[in-house]
């Protein structure tokens, strides 16, 4: 009985493919070279099926593995190996041998495999990651606009909290159309602005050239395009995740999260986080747990792994927001950890707890219950048992009974 596995060394224009029987791996493997055009990928799929290949493994080479994966996905079990786990000895590069090494290391369980979600989740990822990139472009564009205003000697961002808010945009559009009178520009302010009219007039008294105004007009056009695209992407994401709307709302209830961040998390780990068997496995994959580089019983490096950079960014932002919510459990934990760990490490500890909460909410289908400043019931129970044990050692007879018993359904969901 044979069990054949294919190893594919992926390049931009060519694929080096070997087929090895896992039952008799010492035999000479079959080798063949394919191009990466759609017709050649179809021939590759037919060739592998003719040889009754059950599994295939390839390296995650840039983006070029994606078309190969999509062509072979319906026909066999696929694995995507991280390239550095299949490194060859220095100076011994050989494409067919690299493909053969992929198969042999897969059989020996020596490869580090990447998580590739199903087709529906890949669509979610593309949408949410595109929106994230547009958000970053918008922030970069705002910085460019502030730089241009500095060249015009206009200090609008010093007196307006949000340069791209309602008042800021009205003033910027008037500037781009050629209005230079600071009093006319200041008249466009909103009544809710905290700065006085005199301060705003002073900030708008600059010296602009026609070239500056033309550049500002182009930047405003770019900003409008970005905002339009972000709005369209938000509608597309909402439609794509409509079957899992309940999971999005349950996750959005966690302090620090919102609908957008909940959608980003679900697009990365799935609506049920079913790929990860435990919260610890998820935190390790995301990269929010401490590293372990031990030698002779001493940990030399506790730096976290790189993990999933999209989720790390979301959890870091959510942790900063969660510790600022008054009365939340995460704020209490953060204040307890701050003197011992320092600000950055304490924030990272909160991100770790949030990641564990995310796994529990998605994997077990439960909702978050805010405990606030109340102590953890489990810890309170352990503390009562410890005190009762100490009293019994002193000769007292102790029976533990709660003053206000609560049902087990009232126990909050917290990250440990």
3-state secondary structure the chain: CCCEEEEEEECCCEEEEEEEECCCCCCCCEEEEEECCHHHHHHHHHHHHHCCEEEEEEECCCCCHHHHHHHHCCCCEEEEECHHHHCCCCCCCCHHHHHHHHHHHHHCCCCCECCCCCHHHHHHHHHHHHHHHHHHHHHHHHHHHHHHHHHCCCCHHHHCCCCCCHHHHHHHHHHHCCCCCHHHHHCCCCCCCCCCHHHHHHHCCCCCCHHHHHHHHHHHHHHHHHHHHHHHHHHHHHHHCHHHHHHHHHHHCCCCCCHHHHHHHHHHHCCCCCCCCCHHHHHHHHCCCCCCCEECCEECCCCCCCCCHHHHHHHHHHHHHHCCCCCCHHHHHHHHHHHHHCHHHHHHHHHHHHHHHHHHHHHHCCCCCCCCCCCCHHHHHHHHHHHHHHHHHCCCCCCCCCCCCCCHHHCCCCCC
Q: Tell me, what CATH number does 48's domain have?
A: 3.30.420.110
| pLDDT value at residue 295 | 63
Residue 249 and residue 236 share a domain: no
| pLDDT value at residue 296 | 60
Q: Which domain holds residue 185?
A: 121-240
Is residue 257 a contact partner of residue 154, using CB atoms and an 8 Å limit?
A: no
**C-alpha span between 248 and 367 (Å, rounded):** 11
| pLDDT value at residue 91 | 56
Is residue 113 in a domain? Answer: no
What residues contact 395, with CB distance under 8 A and at least 6 apart?
none
Residue 230 and residue 320 share a domain: no
Residue 125 and residue 102 share a domain: no
Is residue 394 in a domain? Answer: yes
Last residue of a domain, one of 82, 107, 132: 107
**C-alpha span between 79 and 304 (Å, rounded):** 25
Residue 338 and residue 257 share a domain: yes
The dihedrals phi and psi of 11, each to the nearest 5 degrees, come to: -125, 175
Residue 250 and residue 194 share a domain: no
Residue 184 and residue 292 share a domain: no
Residue 217 and residue 139 share a domain: yes
Is residue 280 a contact partner of residue 288, using CB atoms and an 8 Å limit?
A: no
| pLDDT value at residue 348 | 92
Is residue 312 in a domain? Answer: yes
Look up residue 17 and give its two tokens. 């493919």
Distances (CA, A) of 117 to 239, 269, 366: 19, 8, 23
Is residue 202 in a domain? Answer: yes
* CA-closest candidate to residue 76, choices 156, 155, 7: 7
Residue 277 in this model has a pLDDT that exceeds 80: yes
Per residue in 248-264, pLDDT (tens digit) is 999 999 999 999 999 99
Is residue 415 in a domain? Answer: no
Is residue 112 in a domain? Answer: no
Residue 219 and residue 190 share a domain: yes
Give CA 117 to chain center in angstroms.
14
Is residue 291 a contact partner of residue 305, using CB atoms and an 8 Å limit?
A: yes
Last residue of a domain, one of 240, 260, 278: 240
Residue 306 and residue 347 share a domain: yes
Residue 269 in this model has a pLDDT that exceeds 60: yes
| pLDDT value at residue 366 | 92
Look up residue 120 and give its two tokens. 């529906």
Is residue 405 in a domain? Answer: yes
| pLDDT value at residue 378 | 78
Residue 360 and residue 260 share a domain: yes
Q: Pick the most confident of 18-27, 51-60, 219-228, 296-305.
A: 219-228
Per residue in 30-75, pLDDT (tens digit) is 899 999 999 999 999 999 999 999 999 998 778 899 999 999 999 9
Total count of domains within the chain: 4
Distances (CA, A) of 397 to 12, 107, 317, 386: 77, 62, 51, 14
Is residue 371 in a domain? Answer: no
| pLDDT value at residue 60 | 79
Residue 415 in this model has a pLDDT that exceeds 60: no
Is residue 252 a contact partner of residue 258, using CB atoms and an 8 Å limit?
A: yes
The dihedrals phi and psi of 395, each to the nearest 5 degrees, come to: 100, 10
Q: Average per-residue pLDDT in the chain?
A: 87
The mean pLDDT of 153-175, rounded to a whole number, is: 91
Last residue of a domain, one of 174, 209, 240: 240
Residue 260 and residue 301 share a domain: yes
Residue 319 and residue 295 share a domain: yes
| pLDDT value at residue 27 | 84
Per residue in 99-120, pLDDT (tens digit) is 888 999 998 888 888 889 988 9
| pLDDT value at residue 370 | 82
Distances (CA, A) of 226 to 139, 168, 218, 263: 11, 17, 12, 20
**C-alpha span between 248 and 80 (Å, rounded):** 29
């Amino acid at each position: 009985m044979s069990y054949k596995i294919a190893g594919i060394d992926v390049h931009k224009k060519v694929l080096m493919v070997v087929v090895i029987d896992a039952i008799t791996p010492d035999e000479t493997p079959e080798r063949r070279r394919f191009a990466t055009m759609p017709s050649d990928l179809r021939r590759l799929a037919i060739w592998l099926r003719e040889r009754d290949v059950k599994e295939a493994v390839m390296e995650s080479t840039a983006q070029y593995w994606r078309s190969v994966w999509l062509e072979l996905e319906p026909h066999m079990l696929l694995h995507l190996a991280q390239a550095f786990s299949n490194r060859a000895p220095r100076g011994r590069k050989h494409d067919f041998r690299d493909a053969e090494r992929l198969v042999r290391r897969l059989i020996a369980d020596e490869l580090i495999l990447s998580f590739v979600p199903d087709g529906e989740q890949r669509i979610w990822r593309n949408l949410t990651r595109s929106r994230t990139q547009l958000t970053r472009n918008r922030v970069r564009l705002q910085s460019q606009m502030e730089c241009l205003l500095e060249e015009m000697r206009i200090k609008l961002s010093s007196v307006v909290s949000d340069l791209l808010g309602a008042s800021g945009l009205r003033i910027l559009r008037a500037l781009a159309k050629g209005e230079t009178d600071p009093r006319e520009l200041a008249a466009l302010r909103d009544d809710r602005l905290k700065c006085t009219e005199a301060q705003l007039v002073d900030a708008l008294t600059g010296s602009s050239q026609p070239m500056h105004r033309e550049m500002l007009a182009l930047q405003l056009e770019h900003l409008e395009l970005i905002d339009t695209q972000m709005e369209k992407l938000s509608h597309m994401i909402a439609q794509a995740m409509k079957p899992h709307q309940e999971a999005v709302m349950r996750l959005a209830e966690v302090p620090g999260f919102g609908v957008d961040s909940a959608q980003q998390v679900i697009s990365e780990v799935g609506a049920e986080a079913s790929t990860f068997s435990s919260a610890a496995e998820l935190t390790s994959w995301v990269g929010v747990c401490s590293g372990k580089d031990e030698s002779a019983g001493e940990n030399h490096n506790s730096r976290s792994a790189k993990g999933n950079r999209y989720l790390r960014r979301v959890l870091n932002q959510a942790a900063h927001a969660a510790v600022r919510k008054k009365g939340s459990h995460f704020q209490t934990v953060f204040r307890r950890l701050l003197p011992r760990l320092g600000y950055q490490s304490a924030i990272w500890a909160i991100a770790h707890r949030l990641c564990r909460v995310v796994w529990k909410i998605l994997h077990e289908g439960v909702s978050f219950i805010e405990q606030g400043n109340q102590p953890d019931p489990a810890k309170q129970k352990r503390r009562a048992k410890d005190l009762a044990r100490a009293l019994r050692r002193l000769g007292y007879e102790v029976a533990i009974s709660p003053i206000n018993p609560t049902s087990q359904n009232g126990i909050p969901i917290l990250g440990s």
